[in-house]
Amino acid sequence: MDYYVPDEDDFVEAVDDVHLTVGAAGEETSVQHFTIEPGAEVPSHQHHHEQAGLITQGELTFELDDGERITVGPGESYVLLGDEVHGAVNEGDEVVKGIDVFAPPRTDPDWAE
């Protein structure tokens, strides 16, 4: 069993006010924890991994390639297919916290460099 407890020192500021850390990883999936400060934006991007997530605090608005905007709040989950273009923004006044699961595992994301 792989066991991981996120620590503040493990988080990397991937873009301004967006902090990420890679958590436990297996052969077919990996976990990522994130915090996104009010007003912070994750630029539009894509990756071959399928990404399923859960918001635990705050509200995060996803911006999809076709212009659709979807806001996800506490206790709500989402799935982004592999290679689906997406970005996200915290338009609220509260820090957004959540967890993403990637398949296949995303253990060496470019933001970790």
Domain residue limits, the chain? 23-32+43-112
Q: What is the three-class DSSP state of 9?
A: helix
Does the pLDDT at position 113 exceed 80? no
How would you classify the pairing of strands 41-45 and 30-36? unpaired
User: Are the beta carbons of 65 and 27 closer than 8 angstroms?
Assistant: no
Does the pLDDT at position 111 exceed 90? no
Superfamily of domain 23-32+43-112: Jelly Rolls (2.60.120.10)
The one-character DSSP state at 65 is T
Q: What is the pLDDT of residue 25?
A: 93
pTM as predicted: 0.92
Tens-place pLDDT, residues 23-57: 999 999 999 999 999 999 999 999 999 999 999 99
The one-character DSSP state at 110 is G
Give the C-alpha separation, 9 to 111, whole Å.
15
